[in-house]
């Protein structure tokens, strides 16, 4: 340190002076500034950090008593005043704890619960008491919808259009229809001759019925037929959040699945 009298610092050197030395004390003593808190030409990144902390301070000044009490109730176990830093500065800084504009973003508790969710959905998960307004729920798990297969069969005379009534109805837009069955005749005399065969074919498709027909190739012939309908419904079904209450989280299926499935939820409560 140095003792000076009649000190006069040129204005162009003011920032450099303040970055390295304190202002002269009443007794004329000048000490080195430690740590250096002022830079003559601060970098943009430093200015951005300073702005974040200043915004956090303003958030604290605007916090009501209930909010401050909630933070204090979750102070570190050693009971020091570090809760001001740990629970305010960490949560007040924009970008922390996924709080874009800053705020009470420090995590208070995390709960994980797993249950089997039936195909009917609307499952309630029991949880320890939380403040629903300060909770985020993450859901893991899924079920599925399988393809639906229908079978019909019978026998009828050829050259007759048959109407096959469907129960239940089908979605024509996603249905694959396969018709099988054939018949015919052979006319062989002394090792030579001819014959004719014909398959059943679809003549009309509706949500409630299918029509099939096979051409007449021999009078009075009866032939069997079979119809297989595959509705291509296969897809993954995910659970969705319905509500969050103090002691329960309710979820449901986005669509009615084919089978029940285990689902777990992660409940994150912020201070």
Q: What is the pLDDT of residues 210-230, one digit of tens each?
A: 999 987 766 667 888 999 999
The least confident of 3-7, 144-148, 266-270 is 3-7
Residue 205 scores a pLDDT above 90: yes
Mean pLDDT value across residues 50-69: 79
Tokens of 51: 């702005």
Residue 98 has pLDDT above 50, yes or no: no
Residue 99 clears pLDDT 60, i.e. is over it: no
Q: How confident is the model at residue 238 (pLDDT cuts 50, 70, 90)?
A: very high
Residue 79 to residue 86: CA distance in whole angstroms: 12
0.75 surpassed by pTM: no
pLDDT in tens, 141-152: 999 999 999 999
Rounded to whole angstroms, the Cα distance separating 89 from 60 reads 9
How far is the C-alpha of 231 from the C-alpha of 148, rounded, in Å? Answer: 5
pLDDT digits (tens, 9 = 90+) for 16-53: 777 777 777 777 787 777 655 555 567 788 888 788 77
Q: What is the dihedral of CA 185, 189, 192, 198, to 10 degrees?
A: -10
Return mean pLDDT, the chain.
83
- CB neighbourhood size of 238 (10 A): 15
pLDDT tens by residue, 136-193: 999 999 999 999 999 999 988 878 899 999 999 999 999 999 999 887 777 777 777 7
Dump pLDDT digits (tens) for 108-121. Answer: 889 999 999 999 99
Q: What is the pLDDT of residue 119?
A: 96
116-131: b (≥16 Cβ within 10 Å) or e: ebeeebebebebeebe
């Amino acid at each position: 340190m140095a003792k000076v009298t009649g000190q006069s610092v040129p204005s162009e050197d003011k920032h450099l002076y303040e970055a390295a030395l304190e202002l002269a004390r009443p007794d004329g003593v000048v000490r080195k500034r430690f740590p250096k808190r002022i830079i003559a030409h601060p970098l943009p990144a430093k200015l951005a950090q300073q702005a974040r902390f200043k915004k956090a301070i303003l958030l604290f000044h605007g916090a009501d008593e209930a909010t401050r009490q909630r933070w204090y109730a979750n102070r570190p176990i050693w009971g020091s005043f570090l809760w001001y830093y740990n629970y305010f500065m960490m949560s007040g800084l924009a970008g922390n704890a996924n709080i874009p504009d800053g705020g009470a973003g420090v995590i208070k508790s995390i709960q994980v619960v797993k249950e089997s969710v039936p195909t009917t959905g609307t499952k309630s998960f029991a949880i320890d008491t939380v403040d629903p307004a300060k909770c985020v729920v993450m859901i893991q798990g899924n079920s599925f919808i399988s393809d639906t297969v229908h079978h019909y069969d019978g026998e009828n005379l050829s050259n007759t259009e048959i109407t096959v009534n469907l129960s239940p109805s089908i979605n024509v837009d996603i249905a694959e229809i396969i018709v099988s069955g054939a018949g015919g005749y052979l006319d062989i005399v002394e090792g030579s001759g001819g014959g004719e065969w014909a398959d059943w074919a679809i003549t009309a498709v509706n949500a409630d019925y299918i029509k099939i027909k096979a051409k007449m190739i021999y009078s009075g012939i009866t032939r069997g037929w079979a119809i297989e309908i595959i509705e291509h419904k296969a897809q993954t079904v995910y659970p969705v959040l319905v509500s969050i209450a103090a002691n329960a989280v309710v979820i449901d299926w986005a669509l009615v699945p084919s089978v029940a499935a285990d689902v777990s939820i992660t409940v994150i409560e912020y201070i």
